């Protein structure tokens, strides 16, 4: 069975790391208490993590596209290779 290994965007920073840790703590708190408020807090933190990762992905994509657009040395082959990886 062949597996495709895709290059991942560099998304991991301290903000995302802290948000994920807080989400995990909220999940563990919800598992122990099973209260609705803890569940709502866990869901809120999960949505916040998703929102932040989408924002960072969008920023990375815009930076990538701007590098392609301002390619003054004619390295469009590299751009096509990157696009094929995605």
Residues 31-63 have pLDDT tens digits of 999 999 999 999 999 999 999 999 988 988 888
pLDDT at 13: 83
User: What is d(CA 70, CA 85) in angstroms, rounded to the nearest whole number?
Assistant: 20
Q: Which residues neighbour 15 within 8 Å (Cβ) at sequence distance 6 or greater?
A: 52
User: What is d(CA 17, CA 15) in angstroms, rounded to the nearest whole number?
Assistant: 5
The better pLDDT of the pair 29, 71 is held by 29
**Contact in structure between 11 and 56 (CB atoms under 8 Å):** yes
pLDDT at 67: 75
Phi and psi dihedrals of 48, rounded to 5?
Answer: -65, -40
**Contact in structure between 53 and 16 (CB atoms under 8 Å):** yes
The better pLDDT of the pair 81, 42 is held by 42
């Amino acid at each position: 069975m062949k597996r495709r290994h895709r290059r991942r965007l560099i998304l991991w920073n301290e903000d995302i790391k802290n948000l994920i840790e807080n989400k995990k703590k909220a999940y563990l708190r919800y598992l122990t208490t099973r209260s609705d408020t803890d569940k709502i807090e866990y869901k809120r933190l999960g949505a916040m993590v998703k929102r932040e990762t989408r924002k960072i992905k969008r920023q990375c994509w815009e930076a990538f596209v701007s590098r392609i657009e301002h390619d003054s040395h004619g390295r469009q082959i590299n751009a096509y290779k990157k696009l094929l990886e995605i």
